[in-house]
Structure 1
Amino acid sequence: MKIGVCLPYMKAGLNREDYLAWFKAVDEGPFHAISCGERVHGPTYDMRVVLSAAAMATQRVELTPTLYVLPMHNATRVAKEIATLDILSGGRVNKVVVGYGGRELDYAAVGARFVGRYGRMDKQVAQMHQVWNGEEIVVGGGPIGPTPTWPKAPALLAGAMGPKSIERCAQWADGLYAWSGNGEREELQRSFDMADAAWARADRDTAPYRLGGFWYTLADDGQSKLYDYVYEYLAIAGPEIAKMMAESVHRSSADALLQGLDNAEAAGCEEVFLVPATAELAEIHRLAELLETRG
């Protein structure tokens, strides 16, 4: 199972030196990929800009957006961004995760319609492939560049959780990004089982790629920091839900994290992204040491 790390894009006060240190630590560690999420409100950094910086500052790891809230954006612009990121990274963009997003206020902040986002994304995916295939979007306008380095477009994975959305994504996605906040085997397995069934009903020729993700920390006083991070992340859903979820996560020690990785592997993850609760470099250095012992 390949292991990647999500950058700490939600922590306030990070600067150039902080991100350069993270890029270096991940690129030099035993990690397959580096990722970043997308959120508008709060002290968050822009996913597209952060990954562009990572493309120039790293040499080895893959770069995987996790995820584009695609219906908040113009599909042509996203296709252009991904092709550019491919070039800046020297061909290290092999997977892109797209999803619907559930934060209506984020949609409102960027002037995008929340209603109709499911049907809109189906059309957007098709439009992105048109751009990458060199087809005209506007008659007479010609192709939209830049011309990427890849022999074929990156795999598009669906960041979806419910049976209806997974069913819909089975028509066009190359795989599923399954999320379990505490890295539980049953949660991940349930999502992958739904994807397998949906892919079969869609008469897909290949099985869905299985990417998983969960929260962790290896920082000092980690459990307290993990609680605070998850609570803050889910505060938009209300204090009761935020408290319930924050109390449910406990991948804050070496043994607990190793169990989470074992769970992900047992659920069939081909790759997993670990999302740190802090921006402390100890998250990466201690994780790298732990993975060396896991083998």
Structure 2
Amino acid sequence: MTLGLAVPFTDPAALVAWARRADEGPYGRIGVADRIVYDNPEPMVMLAAMAAVTGRIRVQSEVVLAPLRDPVLLAKQSATLDVLSGGRFTLGLGAGAREDDFRAVGADHATRGRRMDEQLATMCRVWAGEPVAQGIAPIGPAPVSEGGPELLFGGFVPRALARVAHWGAGYACPAPPRSAGALFELVRQQWRDVGRPGEPLLVAQVNVALGPESTVAQARAALLRYYAFAPDLAEQTLQAMATTPAEIRAMVAAHRDLGAHEVMLSCWSGDIEQVDRLADLLA
């Protein structure tokens, strides 16, 4: 099992430094989250900057909310990132839950799932070099990864998870261990049902804060602010955050025992020293 790192919501210049430091450590990938109505960096732009200053680590959207975006443009951006990174780009996709994000861009929240399925078909045509409409030439650049960049999908419901087997390479699981096992097994079963060889990549996600009390306090405040729209969910997520060496080791071990191939350590504090602290703790 390998480790990944999901960076906090902070300014772009700081996240470039996070990427450089993570590239020197044991991490397999570094992830950037997506929101519209929030003060986070736009993920595709941020990942391009991270790809430019790293040479080994995979850069990943954690996850891009596809129904908020035009599929042809998203496919072109993704192919560009795949080329720029030398095949180190992972496109994590999700349908999105926050209605304010959809209102901000004039997208329909109610039909987001169906639209996402249509988007995936279009994006795969772009990556295959096929025209997306009659009389329109193929859209480049051609990705360096065969078939397009590595695709991961987030979500909880069976319809969302089925996209892994039909379109993707794996599943980005945002659930704690008590729920992740059943979700992992559903993804594996859907994978087998469509006759895919091998097994899906299973990537778990764990919210962490490792450091002095100021680091933990900053992480808790950031998490509560992010989930302010749902106080009950905020409190549950806060209680599940791992903030001690023992808790972090236990959470990683629990996901490993469930069969996760990678654990993404999601940092909510801007304390960059966590990159090295977590690496040393879990080496």
Q: Give the TM-score category using the shorter length.
A: over 0.9
Q: State the Cα distance separating 1:126 from its structure 2 match.
A: 1.0
Identity %: 29
Q: State the Cα distance separating 1:167 from its structure 2 match.
A: 3.9
Of the three residues 118, 124, 134, the one matched with 1:139 is: 134
Question: Is contact 2:4–2:30 with CA below 8 Å preserved after alignment?
Answer: yes
Distance 2:182 2:12 in 1: 39
Q: Does 1:106 align with 2:97?
A: no
> 1:209 maps to which residue?
201
The one-letter code sitting in structure 2 at the alignment partner of 1:219 is G
> What is the CA deviation profile of residues 128-172 of structure 1, one whole-angstrom value per residue up to 9, with x for unaligned ones?
110011100121221100122223422322211123432465433
Question: Is contact 2:3–2:262 with CA below 8 Å preserved after alignment?
Answer: yes
> 1:81 maps to which residue?
77
Distance 1:73 1:291 in 2: 37
Question: Is contact 1:176–1:195 with CA below 8 Å preserved after alignment?
Answer: yes
Of the three residues 20, 23, 43, the one matched with 1:27 is: 23
> 2:277 maps to which residue?
286
Secondary structure, counterpart of 2:132 in structure 1:
coil
Q: How many pairs are equivalent?
A: 282
Q: Does 1:263 align with 2:254?
A: yes
Which sections of structure 2, spanning at least 5 residues, go unmatched? none
Of the three residues 245, 270, 277, the one matched with 2:268 is: 277
> What is the CA deviation profile of residues 13-46 of structure 1, one whole-angstrom value per residue up to 9, with x for unaligned ones?
x252x23321221111111111111011122111
Of the three residues 233, 245, 260, the one matched with 1:241 is: 233
Q: State the Cα distance separating 1:275 from its structure 2 match.
A: 0.6
Q: TM-score, normalised by structure 1?
A: 0.89
Question: Is contact 2:128–2:147 with CA below 8 Å preserved after alignment?
Answer: no
Distance 2:121 2:59 in 1: 22
Secondary structure, counterpart of 1:134 in structure 2:
coil
1:241 and 1:23, CA in 2 relative to 1: closer, same or farther beyond 3 A? closer
> 2:179 maps to which residue?
187
Of the three residues 150, 168, 183, the one matched with 1:173 is: 168
1:168 and 1:143, CA in 2 relative to 1: closer, same or farther beyond 3 A? closer
The one-letter code sitting in structure 1 at the alignment partner of 2:5 is V
Of the three residues 24, 29, 43, the one matched with 1:47 is: 43
1:119 and 1:169, CA in 2 relative to 1: closer, same or farther beyond 3 A? farther
Question: Is contact 1:226–1:252 with CA below 8 Å preserved after alignment?
Answer: no
Distance 1:156 1:104 in 2: 24
Distance 2:163 2:150 in 1: 17
Question: Is contact 2:216–2:269 with CA below 8 Å preserved after alignment?
Answer: no
Of the three residues 51, 65, 70, the one matched with 1:69 is: 65
1:91 and 1:198, CA in 2 relative to 1: closer, same or farther beyond 3 A? closer
> 2:224 maps to which residue?
231
1:56 and 1:185, CA in 2 relative to 1: closer, same or farther beyond 3 A? same
1:137 and 1:167, CA in 2 relative to 1: closer, same or farther beyond 3 A? closer
Question: Is contact 1:226–1:249 with CA below 8 Å preserved after alignment?
Answer: no
Which sections of structure 1, spanning at least 5 residues, go unmatched? none
Secondary structure, counterpart of 1:113 in structure 2:
coil
> What is the CA deviation profile of residues 45-69 of structure 1, one whole-angstrom value per residue up to 9, with x for unaligned ones?
1101110100111111111111111
> What is the CA deviation profile of residues 51-92 of structure 1, one whole-angstrom value per residue up to 9, with x for unaligned ones?
010011111111111111111111111110111001111221
The one-letter code sitting in structure 2 at the alignment partner of 1:288 is A
1:236 and 1:76, CA in 2 relative to 1: closer, same or farther beyond 3 A? same
After TM superposition, the runs of 4+ consecutive aligned structure 1 residues lying more than 4 A away are none
> 2:3 maps to which residue?
3
Secondary structure, counterpart of 1:235 in structure 2:
coil
Q: Does 1:154 align with 2:149?
A: yes
Distance 2:92 2:50 in 1: 17
> What is the CA deviation profile of residues 246-283 of structure 1, one whole-angstrom value per residue up to 9, with x for unaligned ones?
2x224111121111111111111111211102111121
Secondary structure, counterpart of 2:62 in structure 1:
strand
The one-letter code sitting in structure 2 at the alignment partner of 1:234 is Y
Q: TM-score, normalised by structure 2?
A: 0.93
The one-letter code sitting in structure 1 at the alignment partner of 2:107 is A
Secondary structure, counterpart of 2:166 in structure 1:
coil
